[in-house]
Amino acid sequence: MCYTMSDKTQVDSGLRMYIKDLRDILGKEPKIISLRIDNGTEYKTDSFKTLLNELKISVECAEPNTPTHSGTAEWFNRDIQEKGRAILFDSGIPEVFWDYAVGFAVHVYNRTLHKSIAFDTPFTKLRNQEPDLKYIKRFGCLAFIHNAHPKGKWGPRARRAFLLGCTNTGYILLSPETGTITRAKHVTFIESKV
């Protein structure tokens, strides 16, 4: 799961969304006992402190200027940023859509085998089912969104777009003509074209 923020002070809303998503997946209230954080100002907001008190989550703060204390998280964030940067560069999609590239990288990462969890996937560990990989397409590839109700006999049956992400029920697409982002289920992809 990946939650992008336009401002670091939105950490509390990101944590709320994470807990809600875990609740939806697990079907029960997740129990988070503690968080290890650096001394960033984003963790010192009143709203974040209130959320931690409300959920009875204890906090372990790392010493200042010691990223090694949260080494796994720092490594993971850097790895995901590099993956997101690589797929964004490969696709030719404008840099302003970096958050979609990072979300796509996390989506693929969670469905990839990892040695640290006995060559299983995070998706399988969390949901107790194998991930379906057939729907995953190349980020930024050319897509045609099917038009269920074309205008007239000779109206277009599809409109052009580029893939920005995958969801459980469809795709997130960028329309180059309007610059709008849309969601659709019935899409044809040409993965060789970006």
Q: What is the CATH number of the domain that holds 165?
A: 2.30.30
At residue 59, the pLDDT reads 87
Question: What is the rounded CA–CA span in Å between residue 157 and residue 141?
Answer: 19
Q: What is the pLDDT along the chain (194 residues), one digit of tens a residue?
A: 888 888 888 888 999 999 998 888 888 888 888 888 887 788 888 898 899 999 899 988 877 777 666 678 788 889 999 999 999 999 999 999 999 999 999 999 999 999 989 999 999 998 899 999 999 999 999 999 998 888 888 888 899 999 999 988 899 999 998 999 999 999 999 999 88
Whether 122 and 116 have beta carbons less than 8 Å apart is answered as no
- pLDDT value of position 124: 93
**Is there a contact between 140 and 92 (Cβ–Cβ < 8 Å)?**
yes
Q: Answer positive or negative: Cα dihedral of 109, 112, 118, 124.
A: positive
Q: Is residue 87 a contact partner of residue 101, using CB atoms and an 8 Å limit?
A: yes
In a domain, 118, yes or no: no
Decide if 161 is inside a domain.
yes
Q: Which residues contact 38 (CB under 8 A, 6 or more apart)?
A: 61, 62, 67, 69, 70
pLDDT at 63: 77
Would residue 14 count as lying in a domain?
A: yes
Q: Please identify, among 19, 42, 65, the residue that sits at the C-terminal boundary of a domain.
A: 65
Torsion of CA 118, 105, 183, 122, to 10 degrees: 20
For residue 163, the enclosing domain spans: 142-190
pLDDT computed for residue 67 by the predictor: 67
Whose CA is closest to 87, among 191, 185, 189? Answer: 191
Q: Could you tell me if residue 117 is inside a domain?
A: no
* pLDDT tens, residue by residue, 44-80: 888 988 999 998 999 888 777 776 666 787 888 899 9
Residue 99, domain member (yes or no)? no
The residue type at 109 = Y
- Beta-carbon-side half-sphere exposure of residue 89 (alpha carbons within 13 Å): 6
Kindly state whether residue 122 falls inside one of the protein's structural domains. no
Are the C-beta atoms of 101 and 84 separated by less than 8 Å?
A: yes
In a domain, 82, yes or no: no
Report the distance separating Cα 163 and Cα 104, nearest Å: 10
Last residue of a domain, one of 29, 44, 65: 65
b vs e for 22-48, b when ≥16 Cβ sit within 10 Å of the residue's Cβ? beeeeeeeeeeeeeebbeeebbeeeeb
Is residue 159 a part of any domain in this protein? yes
Instruction: Give the residue from 33, 49, 65 where a domain finishes.
Output: 65
Number of domains into which the chain is organized: 2
